[in-house]
C-alpha cells in the first residue's frame, strides 16, 4: 500500500481538475491501490485493476441489499436528504442483483443495438438541423447550441416527455448530478433534494397521464411491464426514468465538448479527420479515451478483497479512476497522445461488468452524428475563445465552447 501526498491527487485543486492526467501517471507508478485519506477511499489507477474490479462480485454499487448502514460501519444519510436517496437508490445504477437484473432486463429492450439503430435517421436529422442553425448564426456556443440539445431531445423523445415540458430537465439533472462529486456540500445536497422532489412529482403525473392514455414511448412500456406482472414498483419506474434522462445526456454533452476542445488543441488530428470522415467512429472512441467524460466510479467492498497484497476490508470504498485507466501505458501506446486512428482502444469510459452503460450504442450514434454534421456542414469551425473548465472532477466538462466559422 502506498500513501498519497498532497501534491499528486487533489480533486479540489483547479489545476488538478484542469489536467488530472500527470497526477494519474504518478498514482499508477506508486501502486495498484492507494489509500486516500481526505475521502476515505482506496484509489485504483491502473487499467487492468479497474477492468477486473468492475466485474468483481465482492464489490457493489450499494451495500443495502446485504447490510444495514450500521452493520456496514456507515451512517445513514441525513433525513433531509431522503428524497434524493429514495430517487437515486431505486435506479438500476445503484442496485445490485436481483433487483438490478430485473430492471435492467426490462429497460435493455429499448436499448438493443438494433432498436437504437432505428433511431439513427432521427438523430442525424436533428444533429444536421442544430448545426445548420449554428452555421446560419456564424457560430455560437457548441455546448448549448448542439452538444446539449441533441441528447436531451433524443432521450426525452424516447421517454415521451412532451416538448413543452423539457426546459427544466437540464437544471434538474445538473442539480441531482452535483451529488456524484466527491464530498458534496450542504448546498449541493439541498439543490439535489429540491430537484429530486420536483422531478419525481413531474414524472408521477406523467406516469398517471400515460397510464390513462399510453403511447409508444418507454414510460408507457414500463407502465405496461408494471401492470402486467408487477415487476416494477412506481418508485422504480420514476427512478428509472430519472436515471435514463440524466445518464442519457450528461456524459454525452461533456464528451462532445471535451472532444471538440481536444480536436482544436490538436490541429493536425482535426485536419486528418476533416480530410477523411471515415475516421469518425475511431475518433469518437479515441476522444472518449483521451479526455474521459466520467473520471471516477465508486464501489463498496462487500467482502474483504486483496489487491496486490493489501487487504481492503468489508465496509471500505474503492474509487476507480477511469481517466487514469484510459491513460495507462500498459494498455495504450503513447497514452497522452491523441491518435484518431488508434486501432486497439479498449477504453473503459462506458464501464464494464453488470453496470456497463446501457446507453453506449445510443451515445456512439449521437456522438458520431454531431461530429459528422459539424465536419460536413461547418468545415471551417474554429475555437472563438479559450473555454473554461467546470470545477467538477467526477463529471468532467466545460462551461461552454465558443466557436466561430
Ligand atoms: C458518452 C456518453 C456516456 C458515457 C461516457 C456513459 C458512461 C456510463 C458509465 C461509466 C456507466 C456505469 C457506471 C458504473 O459502472 O458505476 C453508465 C451506466 C449507465 N448509463 Fe451511460 N454513459 C453515456 C451515455 C448514456 C446514454 C446516452 C444513456 C441512455 C440513454 C445512458 C444510460 C446509462 C444507464 C441507464 C446506466 C446504468 C446501467 C446499469 O446500472 O446497469 N448512458 N454509463
Q: What is the per-residue pLDDT across 23-49, written as a single tens digit (0 to 9) for each?
A: 999 999 999 999 999 999 999 999 999
pTM given for the model: 0.96
Q: What is the per-residue pLDDT across 351-363, written as a single tens digit (0 to 9) for each?
A: 999 999 999 999 9
- CA 266 to centroid of ligand 1, rounded, Å: 28
User: Do 253 and 147 form a contact (C-beta atoms < 8 A)?
Assistant: yes
Q: Among 249, 359, 371, which residue has the most ligand 1 atoms within 8 Å of its CB, making it the best to mutate?
A: 359
CA-104 nearest atom, ligand 1: 41
Residues with CB under 6 A from ligand 1: 61, 92-93, 104, 155, 243-244, 247-248, 251-252, 255, 293-294, 297, 349-351, 355, 357-359, 362-363
Distance CA 374, CA 142 (A): 10
Half-sphere exposure of residue 262, counting CA atoms within 13 Å on the CB side? 28
Tell me the average pLDDT across 293-305: 98
Confidence of residue 231 (pLDDT cuts 50, 70, 90): confident
Instruction: Say what the pLDDT of residue 110 is.
Output: 84
Q: What is the per-residue pLDDT across 307-360, written as a single tens digit (0 to 9) for each?
A: 999 999 999 999 999 999 999 999 999 999 999 999 999 999 999 999 999 999
Domain at 2-404: CATH code? 1.10.630.10
- CA 305 to centroid of ligand 1, rounded, Å: 26
Tell me the average pLDDT across 10-31: 95
Helices marked H in 338-405: 360-377
Q: Which residues contact 51 (CB under 8 A, 6 or more apart)?
A: 325, 346, 348, 352
Tell me the average pLDDT across 193-211: 96
User: Do 181 and 146 form a contact (C-beta atoms < 8 A)?
Assistant: no
- CA 113 to centroid of ligand 1, rounded, Å: 15
Distance CA 392, CA 254 (A): 12
Distance CA 218, CA 228 (A): 15
Confidence of residue 247 (pLDDT cuts 50, 70, 90): very high
Instruction: Say what the pLDDT of residue 230 is.
Output: 57
Confidence of residue 113 (pLDDT cuts 50, 70, 90): confident
Confidence of residue 224 (pLDDT cuts 50, 70, 90): confident
Instruction: Say what the pLDDT of residue 3 is.
Output: 53
Tell me the average pLDDT across 377-390: 97
Q: What is the per-residue pLDDT across 185-199, written as a single tens digit (0 to 9) for each?
A: 999 999 999 999 999
Confidence of residue 112 (pLDDT cuts 50, 70, 90): confident
DSSP 2: E
Least confident of 32-46, 71-85, 219-233, 257-271: 219-233
Q: What is the H or E stretch that residue 242 is in? A: helix 234-247
Spans of all domains in the chain? 2-404
Amino acid at each position: 500500500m502506498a500513501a498519497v501526498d498532497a501534491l499528486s491527487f487533489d480533486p479540489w485543486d483547479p489545476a488538478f481538475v484542469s489536467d488530472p492526467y500527470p497526477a494519474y501517471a504518478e498514482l499508477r507508478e506508486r501502486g495498484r491501490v492507494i489509500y486516500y485519506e481526505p475521502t476515505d477511499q482506496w484509489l485504483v489507477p491502473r487499467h487492468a485493476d479497474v477492468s477486473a474490479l468492475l466485474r468483481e462480485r465482492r464489490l457493489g454499487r450499494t451495500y443495502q441489499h446485504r447490510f444495514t448502514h450500521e452493520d456496514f460501519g456507515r451512517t445513514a444519510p441525513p433525513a433531509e436528504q431522503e428524497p434524493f436517496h429514495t430517487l437515486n437508490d431505486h435506479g438500476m445504477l445503484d442496485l445490485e442483483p436481483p433487483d438490478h437484473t430485473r430492471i435492467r432486463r426490462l429497460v435493455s429492450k429499448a436499448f438493443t443495438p438494433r432498436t437504437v439503430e432505428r433511431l439513427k435517421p432521427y438523430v442525424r436529422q436533428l444533429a444536421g438541423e442544430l448545426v445548420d442553425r449554428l452555421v446560419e448564426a456564424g457560430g455560437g456556443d457548441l455546448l448549448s447550441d448542439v452538444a446539449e440539445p441533441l441528447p436531451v431531445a433524443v432521450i426525452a423523445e424516447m421517454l415521451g416527455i412532451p416538448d413543452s415540458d423539457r426546459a427544466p430537465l437540464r437544471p434538474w439533472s445538473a442539480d441531482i448530478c452535483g451529488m456524484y462529486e466527491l464530498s458534496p456540500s450542504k448546498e449541493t445536497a439541498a439543490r439535489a433534494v429540491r430537484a429530486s422532489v420536483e422531478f419525481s412529482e413531474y414524472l408521477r403525473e406523467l406516469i398517471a397521464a400515460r397510464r390513462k392514455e399510453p403511447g409508444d414511448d418507454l414510460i408507457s412500456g414500463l407502465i405496461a411491464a408494471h401492470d402486467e406482472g408487477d415487476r416494477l414498483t412506481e418508485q422504480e419506474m420514476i427512478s428509472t426514468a430519472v436515471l435514463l434522462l440524466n445518464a442519457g445526456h450528461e456524459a454525452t454533452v461533456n464528451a462532445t465538448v471535451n472532444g471538440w476542445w481536444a480536436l482544436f488543441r490538436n490541429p493536425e488530428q482535426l485536419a486528418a479527420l476533416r480530410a477523411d470522415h471515415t475516421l469518425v467512429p475511431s475518433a469518437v472512441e479515441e476522444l472518449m479515451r483521451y479526455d474521459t467524460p466520467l473520471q471516477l466510479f465508486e464501489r463498496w467492498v462487500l467482502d474483504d478483497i486483496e489487491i496486490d497484497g493489501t487487504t481492503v476490508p468489508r465496509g471500505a470504498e474503492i474509487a476507480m479512476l477511469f481517466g487514469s485507466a484510459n491513460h495507462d501505458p500498459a494498455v495504450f501506446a503513447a497514452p497522452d497522445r491523441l491518435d484518431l486512428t488508434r486501432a486497439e482502444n479498449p477504453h473503459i469510459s462506458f464501464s464494464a461488468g453488470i453496470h456497463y452503460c446501457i446507453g453506449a450504442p445510443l451515445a456512439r450514434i449521437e456522438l458520431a452524428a454531431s461530429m459528422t454534421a459539424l465536419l460536413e456542414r461547418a468545415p471551417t469551425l474554429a475555437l472563438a475563445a479559450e473555454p473554461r473548465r467546470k470545477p467538477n472532477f467526477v463529471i468532467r466538462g466545460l462551461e461552454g465552447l465558443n466557436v466561430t466559422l
